[in-house]
A = this chain, B = another copy of it.
């Protein structure tokens, strides 16, 4: 049996390991926290720092392959492992590009991949000269994650909010829709495209409300989304699974926002809604099996379950029974002991051929389920 390591032990690792149990594979996980969501589901858990060169080298030595569930890993160690014959998904060279927002933008530009216009700023001083480029979004080159390290700069008065580190300043796009296109590439260059997914944002709270699969976009536009996402992955020249996030602008343009070279939040629904889930698909890539069928079994909505703003501590789920009673809802709780504001604690996938059923239930879940701390110690 092949021995495969996963760097990172969060919910993506957890779901990867649930899928791994369908195949003959020995799984290893490295993560600092021995209580992390994935720790107990692998053959071999190794406590270590995925950002540390020695830890990652030690972890990967003797394995047949290594994949990631988060980008913030030690790339130099992955390069070393790769040169020693360990297969790495994605390749360290692709990871080096995608984990740095400056290199990523430059990659799109060099490969004629449509993306919003951008400038590079090394520090806040440089940023302050760019008042004619506004409105724009300032993104720190490295270290940002899940909304951290991103700042909207609407007008010159906002320039002070920008980052005093190497960053990219992207022209703000007037967004009609946000799309995620998941693409898998096998070691022999075969590709599989999932139905594109559409993110629905809450206009009041300005946060992800739910996702719909497949996205409701005209066929011609879908083809452009697919063609662009496919080009991103082919130009990265590495096997693996990729979530290409795109904007459809109000004037009909299709622009790449960013690409994650791993299983992704926008693919959670594929566990139940598609023949081969994104997790299953990555194992097929890593184990060198034929790619799976990415087509959907049924249309789906996916709702992230996040810790309620202002609560932290031992988690308590309020309204869980209502979700568990929904006929077409699939609940996934990640087993995290502690909640924090906005922390991803689980998700729900809904299956239905009736879009209004998906939307109604997605909103019901968003309203009814409250993830708070067990003791009602509201800290705000």
Q: Complex: how many Å from CA A17 to CA B290?
A: 26
Cβ contact of A333, chosen from B24, B321, B325, cutoff 8 A = B24
A327 touches B21 (CB 8 A): no
Question: What residues of B have a CB within 8 angstroms of the CB of A333 in the complex?
Answer: 22-24
1/0 contact string of A282-318 vs chain B (CB within 8 Å): 0010000110110101100000000000000001000
User: Does A14 count as interface, using CB distance less than 8 angstroms?
Assistant: yes
Cβ contact of A21, chosen from B297, B320, B335, cutoff 8 A = B335
The smallest C-beta distance from A286 to any residue of chain B, in angstroms, reads 13
Within A28-66, which residues are at the interface with B (CB < 8 Å)? 40-43
User: Does A227 count as interface, using CB distance less than 8 angstroms?
Assistant: no
A40 touches B22 (CB 8 A): no
A290 touches B40 (CB 8 A): no
**Are A21 and B41 CB-contacts (below 8 A) given A289-B324, A351-B297?**
yes
A24 touches B335 (CB 8 A): yes
**Residue in B closest to A44 when the chains form the complex, CB atoms:** B40
B14 touches A328 (CB 8 A): no
A290 touches B325 (CB 8 A): yes
Within A325-365, which residues are at the interface with B (CB < 8 Å)? 325, 327-328, 330-333, 335, 337, 351
Cβ contact of A321, chosen from B24, B289, B297, B320, cutoff 8 A = B289
Given A14-B21, A18-B18, 10 further pairs, Cβ under 8 A: A1-B337, A15-B21, A18-B21, A24-B333, A40-B42, A275-B328, A290-B325, A292-B324, A293-B328, A297-B297
